[in-house]
Amino acid sequence: MIEQEYLWWQKEILYQIYPRSFKDSNDDGIGDLPGILQKLDYLQELGIKGVWISPFYPSPMADFGYDVSDYIGVHPMFGTIEDFDNLLKEIHNRDMKLILDFVPNHTSNEHPWFQESIKSRDDPKREWYIWKDPGPDGGPPNNWGAAFGGSGWEYDDSTGQYYYHAFLKEQPDLNWRNPEVQEAMFNAMRFWLDKGVDGFRVDVMWHMIKDDQFRDNPINPDYTEDKSPYDKYIQAYNTDQPEVHEIVKKMRNVMDEYDERVMIGEIYLPIDKLVTYYGEDNEGTHLPFNFLLVVLPWDARKIEAAVNEYEGSLPPDGWPNWVLGNHDNSRMATRVGKEQARIAAMLLLTLRGTPTMYYGDEIGMEDVEISADEVMDPQEKNIPGKGLGRDPERTPMQWDDSPNAGFSSAKPWLPIMENYQKINVANELENDNSTLNFYKKLIKLRNNEPALQVGNFIPVPSEENMFSFIREYAGKKFLIALNFGSSEEKCEPGLKDWKGKVKLATHPQKQGEEIKNLVYLGPHQGVILEIIDNQ
């Protein structure tokens, strides 16, 4: 039993659903809310608790839902508000939680607020967005770029000013310095919180406030041509401004009007900056998403150093979290390589902190190659050929070996992975050694062991390709030893005369093995071992 009170979002596992690609219930080739409902039992049996659904709001879909034209509705493509209510009820009936994606930095250019704002310079909604006069040369007001290519400024002929957009020109940035914007957005949050939604994942939280003097960004000396043109500059003045923390705190106050809700911030920043988003006295975001495992090279020493730095940088009550994949990054199994995928899963689910899984990783889905005429992602369309496209990691979930992998009876919006007849839920459930069954065992072990859920993290000296650590709770200790390499490695955890038993292994031959003092692991092997006797 866990003695101290921990909140659900500290103990449990979160799972991201990209709704276009999870399950299609109405045969239009695009996933929807009733489709997710059909698969709730699957998620419950997997052992996850919090379901985060990427945006399903009304949207012209320039950025596949991250361009919202109504914050308090459901796009007909995904269903109705009744479908939503039903889904939420059924999630709660299963003692699970629902986290929505909230996109506060920008709206769609089709949002009625922007439609008004663009009408005239003295429209009451003009100050809801970021409008500026042209620079001295008649061009954009400064050198800020857009993450999806080109200038961040778009000129509006009829009013003779530029508006700022950090992403597509169809995604104008809101002016969060304006109290009216704040109130309107907080009310949108309350609309869903009143319905009983358990939390938000807040899109691009670190972008929300820009420099009030609109200073030019400095040139990035490390820029190379293979990178996105956005990286030519360091985003010093358009992101991570000190005043953003006041906004985050106000958002947190809205969450705190309700019980046990969680606020997660999407923030891509170095560790020292990331942890500032917990806020002073922990009044910021509960979980600033930690993407270290996504952005770092898959190298035991580098990962170990980052884990230690992160653990050491957390504020006193800051709860850690880990992410292994999402809809913006190459799939985990592709990034780390198939042989390392189980090591990565074990790491995600045994490090201290809330883990977030990405749909399909649990069956071993990989990036799918997208031909030029199948490209959907605006990032790939605007900045082609640099490997920035996000379609490969957004392909439909593979449920069974029927046509379209049981995702839809119509042609799916993105192609299905070629080997879906083997890599799919139904098939993997039948095979004891499948990736899916491995995940199920791993999740079950984690869910049953307080040490793995909330226990202390104790670093263990390791060398070469080995990364190991201990998790401990109320005297019960687990050693996690992971071989990141392709040759045999050993782990000597620095305990005196100890014995242990393997509770879970990446490779079945190690399962149940009794170990004394030294752990030898073959290539790509990992174990979770209970230390049973230790003087």
**3-class secondary structure, 27:** coil
C-beta closer to ligand GLC: residue 85 or 328: 328
| 359 contributes a contact to ligand GLC by CB under 6 A | no
CB of 281 to ligand GLC, least distance (A): 28
Q: Out of 328, 401, 492, 513, name the contact with ligand GLC by CB under 6 A.
A: 328
Residue number with CB closer to ligand GLC (105 or 142): 105
206 touching ligand GLC, by CB under 6 A = no
Q: Which residue is nearest to ligand GLC (CB)?
A: 66
* Beta-carbon count within 10 A of 346 CB: 24
Q: With binding defined as CB under 6 A, does residue 367 bind ligand GLC?
A: no
Q: Is 90 a catalytic residue?
A: no
Strand pairing category for 262-265 and 287-288: parallel
512 vs 278: CA distance, rounded Å:
40
Q: Please give the sequence-ordered ranges of beta strands (E in DSSP) within 127-183, or none if there are none.
A: 131-132, 153-156, 161-164
Assess 66 for contact with ligand GLC (CB under 6 A): yes
Among residues 105, 24, 114, the alpha carbon closest in space to that of 412 is found at: 24
Task: Specify whether 304 is catalytic.
Answer: no
Q: What is the DSSP letter of 152?
A: S
Q: Which of 108, 525 has the CB closer to ligand GLC? A: 108
**Count of residues that interact with ligand GLC, criterion CB under 6 A:** 9
Q: Exactly one of 67, 173, 203, 489 is catalytic; which is it?
A: 203
What does the alpha-carbon distance between residue 135 and residue 513 come to, in Å, rounded to a whole number?
Answer: 70
Task: Quote the least distance from Cβ 206 to ligand GLC, whole Å.
Answer: 10
Contact between 204 and ligand GLC per CB under 6 A: yes
- The phi and psi torsions of 455 (rounded to 5 degrees) equal -65, 165
Check binding of 24 to ligand GLC (CB under 6 A). no
**CB neighbour burial string for 408-438, b if at least 16 within 10 angstroms, e if fewer:** beeebbbbbbeebeebbbebbbeeeebbbeb
8-state DSSP, 499: E
Measured from the CB atom, the residue of 266 and 366 that comes closer to ligand GLC is: 266
Name the residue nearer to ligand GLC (CB basis): 208 or 343. Answer: 208
Alpha carbon distance 255, 48 (integer Å): 23
Identify the active-site residue in 266, 362, 393, 489: 266
How far apart (Å, rounded) are the C-alpha atoms in residues 358 and 393?
A: 10
Q: Which residue has the tokens 């030029």?
A: 372
For the CB of residue 122, give the shortest distance to ligand GLC in the complex, in Å: 29
Report the site for ligand GLC in 252-281 (rule: CB under 6 A).
266
Q: Give me the least distance between CB of 172 and ligand GLC, in Å please.
A: 12
* Alpha-carbon span 204 to 239, nearest angstrom: 9
Separation between Cα atoms, residue 175 and residue 243, nearest integer Å: 13
85 touches ligand GLC by CB under 6 A:
no
Name the DSSP class of 101: E
| Nearest Cα residue to 16 out of 362, 316, 285 | 362
CB of 72 to ligand GLC, least distance (A): 18
- Asked if 203 is part of the footprint of ligand GLC (rule: CB under 6 A), the reply reads yes
Cβ proximity to ligand GLC: between 262 and 294 the closer is: 294
Q: What is the dihedral of CA 449, 452, 454, 455, to 10 degrees?
A: 100
CB of 535 to ligand GLC, least distance (A): 50
Q: Which of 9, 52, 102, 167 binds ligand GLC (CB under 6 A)?
A: 167
Check binding of 428 to ligand GLC (CB under 6 A). no
Q: Show which residues are catalytic.
A: 203, 266
Give the binding site for ligand GLC (CB under 6 A).
63, 66, 103, 167, 203-204, 266, 327-328
